[in-house]
Amino acid sequence: MSQPASLNARYRTTVDALQGALDAGNEAAFRQAFEQLREGMSAEFMPELKRITASAQEALRRFREETRLDALAANEVPDARKRLAHVVKLTEEAAHRTLDLVERSGPIVDQAARDAADLLEAWSAYPHRDGVGGSLWPERAHAFLERAVKDTDEVRGNLSEMLLAQGYQDLTGQITRGVIALVGELETMLGHLVRLSNGDETMRSLRALPAPVNDLSRGIGPTVPGVQDGGSVNDQDDIDALLKSFGG
- Which chain residues interact with another protein by CB under 8 A? 160, 163-164, 166-171, 173-174, 216-223, 231-233, 235-236, 239, 242-243, 246, 248
Is 84 in contact with 78 (CB distance < 8 Å)?
no
Is 197 in contact with 55 (CB distance < 8 Å)?
no
Nearer to another protein among residue 125 and residue 162 (C-beta)? 162
Nearer to another protein among residue 3 and residue 217 (C-beta)? 217
Q: How many CB atoms lie within 10 A of CB 248?
A: 9
Nearer to another protein among residue 62 and residue 82 (C-beta)? 82
Min dist CB 248 to another protein, Å, is 6
Min dist CB 216 to another protein, Å, is 5
The Cα 121–Cα 136 span in angstroms is 12
Min dist CB 75 to another protein, Å, is 18
Min dist CB 44 to another protein, Å, is 59
Min dist CB 153 to another protein, Å, is 12
The Cα 46–Cα 203 span in angstroms is 25
Task: Compute and round to an integer the Cα radius of gyration of the chain.
Answer: 41
15 CB-side CA count, 13 A: 6
Nearer to another protein among residue 128 and residue 244 (C-beta)? 244
Nearer to another protein among residue 198 and residue 234 (C-beta)? 234
**Any idea what the Cα angle at residue 175 is, between residues 225 and 93, rounded to 5°?**
65
The Cα 238–Cα 245 span in angstroms is 11
Nearer to another protein among residue 208 and residue 216 (C-beta)? 216
Q: What is the DSSP string of 7-59?
A: HHHHHHHHHHHHHHHHHHT-HHHHHHHHHHHHHHHHHHHHHHHHHHHHHHHHH
Nearer to another protein among residue 40 and residue 167 (C-beta)? 167
Min dist CB 171 to another protein, Å, is 6
The Cα 190–Cα 194 span in angstroms is 6
Min dist CB 133 to another protein, Å, is 39
